[in-house]
Amino acid sequence: MKVYVDNGASTKVDGKVLKAMEPYFTEKYGNASSLHDFGRDALEGLEKARTIIAKKINASAGEIIFTSGGTESDNMAVIGAAYANKNKNHIITSAIEHPAILNTCQELEKRGFDVTYLSVDEGGFVDPKDVESAITDKTALVTIMHANNETGVIEPIEEIGKICREKGVLFHTDTVQSFTKVDINVKKMNIDMASFSSHKIHGPKGVGALYVRTGVKIKKLMYGGKHEFNLRPGTENVAGAIGFAEAVKQMKDSNVKHVTELRDKLIEGVFDSIERVKLNGPRENRLCNNVNFSYLGLEGETISTYLSMKGVATSTGSACASASLEPSHVLIAMGMKHEDAHGSIRMTLSKFTTEEEIEYILKVLPDIIKKSRRISPL
Ligand SMILES: Cc1ncc(COP(=O)(O)O)c(C=O)c1O
């Protein structure tokens, strides 16, 4: 049996998404800036896609900028806000952000900006009060992720957004993992900017979006034509945008319910059948598709390799960091010991995950853990 539970890294493209994209490769392949019929068809598709994404977060179409994915959106928000106001040189973020935020902040530090990296508690939560006390009159931006890619913890961004708005500081949130799994209402949550990625929600890779609230000024990263409201030059990836929007349309509340049930079955099953395990991240306020356990006394890589031999695709830490042997910066920030952090395995489910697949994992995993513990030098 082949079981894919690495949907936090990337997802299978939904068949309906593929179908919606196809005409934009074969018939409506014009450049959306061209004035002829082919161009007009492409532009019409692009604007329809923009409207669908905007509606999903209670924004206007003019506030959605298509990008190449979550990483570019994060860069655009953080660097764009940092350089937008000459009198401000301070950024606030958290220690558990994705590298797309953390490494961008570190680059800005090299360029002379001050960055505050807020710590988190044992559950992985940022305290909104810490955000409030870190804000100064030099703060250009607060950027705190909506949901963490490794532990699935859902941060209190509505409270953080309220604080930022009251203090007159821009608030950006990385919603790459939470989009379509947790409701996002940019107005109610006082969000000024938000990053999205298509390939985490059964859309194609290489497309994402940045929401920029009307009135928010950011400096653009790239120079060229006046595409995307003069913020992101380059011929638009129309088929990608269409696929992204179709993926959004195809993510239903019933999918969230299905995935939540499977997540809980998997969590309970691991607790029932395996000793010395620790669930990383909370039970409540956790993404519907995230199961992250540390198997104490073991290396995550060993477990992951054995699981892979049984056809089960999982990950240790975030995909972007999986080439590194460092323990997860997220688990370390949550106060976990290095050896326990090394023993973590992330399983991320999707709407295509089945009950049989979860049962299969629960059948093979206890034996793998037993066998690994027998031979582990730890
Ligand atoms: C929280 C988070 N932000 C940003 C990214 C980067 O998104 P993309 O792969 O679209 O560049 C990821 C991808 O894993 C992510 O999980």
Q: Give 137-180 pLDDT, tens digit per residue.
A: 999 999 999 999 999 999 999 999 999 999 999 999 999 999 99
Residues 6+ apart with CB under 8 A from 120: 94, 95, 96, 126, 333, 334
Ligand 1 midpoint to CA 268 (Å): 28
Whether ligand 1 lies within 6 angstroms of the CB of 177 is answered as yes
Instruction: Give, for all 378 residues of the chain, the pLDDT tens digit.
Output: 999 999 999 999 999 999 999 999 999 999 999 999 999 999 999 999 999 999 999 999 999 999 999 999 999 999 999 999 899 999 999 999 999 999 999 999 999 999 999 999 999 999 999 999 999 999 999 999 999 999 999 999 999 999 999 999 999 999 999 999 999 999 999 999 999 999 999 999 999 999 999 999 999 999 999 999 999 999 999 999 999 999 999 999 999 999 999 999 999 999 999 999 999 999 999 999 999 999 999 999 999 999 999 999 999 864 445 556 788 999 999 999 998 999 999 999 999 999 999 999 999 999 999 999 998 776
149 lines ligand 1 (CB under 6 A): yes
- The domains of the chain, with CATH numbers, are 3-11+252-375 (3.90.1150.10), 15-250 (3.40.640.10)
- Residues 207 and 198 sit within 8 Å (Cβ to Cβ): yes
Residue 355 CA to ligand 1 centre (angstroms): 27
H/E run at residue 161: helix 157-167
Q: Of 227, 307, 372, nearest to 4 (Cα)?
A: 307
3-class secondary-structure state, position 4: strand
Of all protein residues, the one whose alpha carbon is nearest to atom 4 of ligand 1 is: 70
* 288 given a catalytic annotation: no
Return the residue whose CA atom lies nearest to atom 14 of ligand 1. 9
The pLDDT tens digits for 212-251 are 999 999 999 999 999 999 999 999 999 999 999 999 999 9
Tens-digit pLDDT profile for residues 339-360: 899 999 999 999 999 999 999 9
Q: What share of the chain is helix, strand, coil (3-state, %, to 5)?
A: 40, 15, 40
The residues, ordered by sequence, that sit 6+ positions from 354 with a Cβ below 8 Å of its Cβ are none
Global pTM?
A: 0.97
CA of 366 to the centre of ligand 1 (A): 31
Residue 376 pLDDT: 77
Ligand 1 contact via 208 beta carbon (within 6 Å): yes
105, 164, 288, 320: which is the annotated catalytic residue?
320
